[in-house]
């Protein structure tokens, strides 16, 4: 196997905790002036991991400050000379997008780009294909590898079959939180979040999976500890139209197209995210996400040529979130937050208008992924081991001391 480690990293020129209600932001970004960025910790943890061939860093940041941020990211990468690290920013992404547009003009440039969680993951898959890597190992920049065998564990079982003859071409590990626990925090939630918590259901599933055989069929997907074989990622793309949760959505997408996500209970990372507050914008993203998820699955289930995905097959988690009970969860949580949270006006706006907007978005967009998927295998086949495009990407993306003059 020829694996590549792909790490999306999100940056800004300053720390921002905006309370604006929107659906376009990211969970957190690294400020340009942060003393020890998350990316530094992540790359340091990979310095002594055995078997790394290449690391690709996907640089996501505002265009206005990319020059300064790229210089900072290059500096970080240069501190880790043991591994070959290539940075993909706007220049490299634009080169790839131009080729993708020529291959499939109808697919849209937003589907493989450095904007939006799903599209960013697709950019990582495109880069892997161009460079001829048959395994993509995703990490997030706020995670660290805990052992030298991280990559050995990542590729364990990939490309093989279960005893039932089912292919293992996509698998997820899990993360340990700051407490070194794989379970969601069970501390008491605020009263207005009583209908908006996955803790109990997630923990029940995780407890069972950790006691099962090493490789078992998964109901969860950890985007920062995920390994995909080319047999999966050249056939099935991440959904560029989902607002967040693109990793779990990929599990649904695999099932739609006849494959499965598998869970490896011996492969994990530690997740050390920066502190962030629960903001109305994130809640609105979640509304859009789950409304869209449910609508897409219903459309897929009614389509010819795609497999069935049911809430019942995804119990105890995440089945309830794609079932009819979602409507009550959204109604009461948005109303209770409007009463109990300091951002009364923002949450009331979500209760009064955001719910309807999320349903309208879901209805409009729910067929786009299925259409997009008709082009994806063709695009990946044309990108695979594309020497000319690879040379162009590596010429500008490889981090050397020369880049520090940019």
For residue 349, which phi and psi values (nearest 5 degrees)? -60, -40
Q: Which of 146, 120, 152, 150 is nearest to 56 (CA)?
A: 120
CATH superfamily of 3-278+372-393: Spore Coat Polysaccharide Biosynthesis Protein SpsA; Chain A (3.90.550.10)
Q: Which of 16, 28, 20 is nearest to 343 (CA)?
A: 20
What would the two tokens of residue 275 be?
Answer: 């502190």
CB atoms within 10 A of CB 206: 20
Task: For residue 400, give Cα distances in angstroms to 64, 75, 92, 136.
Answer: 23, 9, 16, 24
Q: What is the pLDDT of residues 39-50, one digit of tens each?
A: 999 999 999 999
Q: With beta carbons less than 8 A apart as the criterion, state whether 39 and 76 touch.
A: yes
Residue 307: is it exposed, middle or buried by C-beta count within 10 angstroms (0-12/13-18/19+)?
A: middle
Report the predicted TM-score, pTM, of the whole model to 2 decimal places.
0.94
Q: Residue 188's pLDDT is what? A: 73
Distance CA 51, CA 44 (A): 15
State what percent of residues in the chain have pLDDT above 70.
Answer: 95
Distance CA 394, CA 377 (A): 24
pLDDT exceeds 60 at position 19: no
Q: Residue 400's pLDDT is what? A: 59
For the chain, the domains span 3-278+372-393
């Amino acid at each position: 196997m020829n694996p590549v480690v792909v790490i999306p990293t999100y940056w800004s020129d300053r720390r921002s905790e905006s309370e604006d209600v929107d659906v376009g932001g990211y969970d957190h970004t690294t400020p340009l002036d942060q003393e020890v960025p998350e990316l530094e910790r992540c790359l340091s943890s990979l310095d002594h991991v055995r078997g790394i061939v290449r690391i690709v860093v996907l640089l996501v940041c505002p265009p206005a400050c990319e020059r300064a941020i790229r210089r900072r990211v290059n500096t970080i990468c240069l501190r880790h000379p043991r591994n070959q690290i290539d940075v993909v920013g706007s220049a490299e992404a634009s080169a790839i997008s131009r080729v993708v547009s020529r291959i499939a003009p109808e697919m849209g440039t937003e589907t493989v780009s450095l904007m939006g969680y799903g599209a960013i993951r697709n950019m990582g898959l495109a880069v892997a294909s161009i460079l001829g890597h048959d395994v993509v190992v995703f990490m997030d920049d706020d995670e660290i590898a805990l052992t030298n065998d991280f990559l050995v564990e990542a590729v364990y079982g990939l490309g093989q079959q279960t005893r039932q003859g089912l292919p293992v071409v996509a698998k997820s590990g899990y993360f340990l939180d700051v407490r070194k626990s794989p379970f969601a925090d069970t501390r008491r939630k605020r009263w207005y979040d009583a209908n908006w918590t996955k803790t109990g259901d997630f923990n029940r599933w995780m407890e069972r999976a950790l006691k099962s055989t090493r490789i078992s069929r998964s109901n969860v997907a950890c985007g920062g500890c995920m390994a995909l074989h080319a047999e999966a990622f050249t056939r099935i793309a991440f959904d560029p139209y989902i607002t967040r949760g693109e990793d779990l959505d990929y599990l649904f997408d695999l099932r739609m197209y006849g494959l499965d996500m598998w869970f490896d209970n011996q492969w994990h990372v530690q997740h050390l995210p920066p502190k962030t507050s629960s903001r109305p914008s994130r809640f609105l993203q979640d509304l859009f996400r789950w409304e869209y998820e449910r609508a897409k699955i219903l459309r897929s289930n009614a389509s010819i040529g795609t497999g069935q995905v049911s809430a019942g097959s995804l119990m105890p988690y995440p089945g309830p979130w794609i079932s009819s009970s979602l409507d009550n969860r959204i109604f009461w949580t948005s109303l209770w937050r409007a009463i109990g949270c300091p951002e009364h006006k923002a949450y009331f706006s979500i209760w009064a208008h955001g719910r309807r907007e999320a349903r309208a978005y879901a209805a409009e967009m729910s067929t786009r992924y299925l259409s997009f998927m008709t082009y994806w295998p063709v695009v990946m086949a044309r990108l695979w081991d594309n020497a000319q495009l690879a040379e162009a990407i590596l010429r500008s993306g490889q981090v050397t001391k020369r880049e520090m003059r940019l």
